Amino acid sequence: MEIITVWGVKWRIAPVWEVLLGIVIIGLIIAFFGLLRYYQTLKKKKASAYQLFLFKTKQKGLTNFQSKIMHSMADTLNLPRPEQLFNNPGLFESAIGNFMPYLMSSEETKDSLESICHDLIITYEKVYHAAQFKEPLADLRSLEVDTLLYFKTEEANVAIGKVDTITTDSINIVFFRKPKDIMTRFMDRDIDVYFWRSGDAEYSFTSHVNNIEGNIINIPIPETFNRGKEVRHPYVEVIIPCVISGIKDTDSKTDTGKKEPGEINGTLNRLNEYEAVVRVNQELDYNKKYSLKFKMSDFKIDIVCQLLSDRTIAEDEIYYVTFKLLQMSEPARNIIKQYISEHL
């Protein structure tokens, strides 16, 4: 069908189906660009959420590998905002429950399985039970509820669980495994138990699975346990006058010809239970041991220490030296611990 315009030009009139087809094509083009814009917006939001997530992992003191663990869990759980994981330990535990069957069916070595479980419990404790300083455990009855632990048997079975309740003689632990797996792999077996406390140290002990109800196991509390590698504690900022003096190496059979340094006045700037940062105006020898003397809480403290590192401000000839604290009396150690715990 055609029409004639005022200029004498014949103009074809499109049928209805062609008009509809044109509208559909235009609509699809508009929808495509709309979806593309929406995708770009979502991508920007996801990138921003990921940056916030990384920022929070650094705030929690997680390593790069532990950050990857958290991000992988957020992806596995399909969380719209990955930072939700930081506020809900149940999400973390759910992810562990889904991951453990896969881990046990993999062909990982025993050492690899233990390493993975070790990183998982440390990540959990750093995120949900963060603390700068905790007093060491006097006994296992003082262990906090909701602490994450991992277990292993001689048959290389590993599992992760959470402290549910503690009685005078036993601990009830929620296992993140199916009850059938727990009964088959752990019932009536000796288990080595490991846990990590933020601001303190890692611990281990050996016990025996006495009873299993659902996914809760009961183990007796042993009389002895091991306190392993301590957590590196943060420094406390201080301004305390101190005196440094060299200690003569009586075991050395050779005479270097160097004179032992006399007393050097300095200022103690930062301190934790294992290291001290001191400001001095004289370079020190890495091969020597030193006596570090200062006064804290009206108590005279004398510590044998060794130089770890130094930093120089050339203009003022000032040295900031980091000492490793090697030997001190027990009262001095207790006073330093108390001071640090009060000022963190």
- The pLDDT score that the predictor gives to residue 61 is 76
Structural element, H or E, at residue 83: none
- The pLDDT score that the predictor gives to residue 10 is 65
Residue 169 sits in a domain whose CATH number is: 2.30.110.10
Q: Is the dihedral of CA 316, 317, 323, 328 positive or negative?
A: negative
For residues 198 and 55, what is the distance between their CA atoms, to the nearest angstrom? 20
Q: Are residues 284 and 319 in the same domain?
A: yes
Q: Are residues 332 and 240 in the same domain?
A: yes
Residue 311 domain-assigned (yes or no) = yes
Residue 332 domain-assigned (yes or no) = yes
Position of tokens 């003191």? 61
- The pLDDT score that the predictor gives to residue 195 is 94
- The pLDDT score that the predictor gives to residue 2 is 58
Residue 281 domain-assigned (yes or no) = yes
Q: Are residues 182 and 242 in the same domain?
A: no
Position of tokens 């150690």? 333
The predicted model scores a pTM of 0.62
- The pLDDT score that the predictor gives to residue 257 is 41
Quick: pLDDT tens for 261-281. 578 999 999 998 888 999 998
Residue 295 domain-assigned (yes or no) = yes
Residues of the chain with pLDDT under 70: 1-14, 46-49, 232-233, 249-261, 313-316, 344
Structural domain span for residue 329: 236-250+261-343
Q: Are residues 277 and 214 in the same domain?
A: no
Residue 115 domain-assigned (yes or no) = no
Residue 134 dihedral angles phi and psi, to the nearest 5°: -135, 140
Q: Are residues 134 and 207 in the same domain?
A: yes
Residue 271 sits in a domain whose CATH number is: 2.40.10.220
Q: Contact 177/100 with Cβ under 8 angstroms? A: yes
Q: Are residues 225 and 285 in the same domain?
A: no
Residue 321 domain-assigned (yes or no) = yes
Q: Are residues 317 and 337 in the same domain?
A: yes
Helices (H) and strands (E) in the chain, counts: 6, 16
Residue 193 domain-assigned (yes or no) = yes
**How many structural domains comprise the chain?**
2
Quick: pLDDT tens for 32-69. 888 888 777 777 776 666 777 777 777 777 778 888 88
Q: Are residues 154 and 211 in the same domain?
A: yes
Rg (CA), the chain: 32
Residue 122 domain-assigned (yes or no) = no
For residues 170 and 150, what is the distance between their CA atoms, to the nearest angstrom? 17
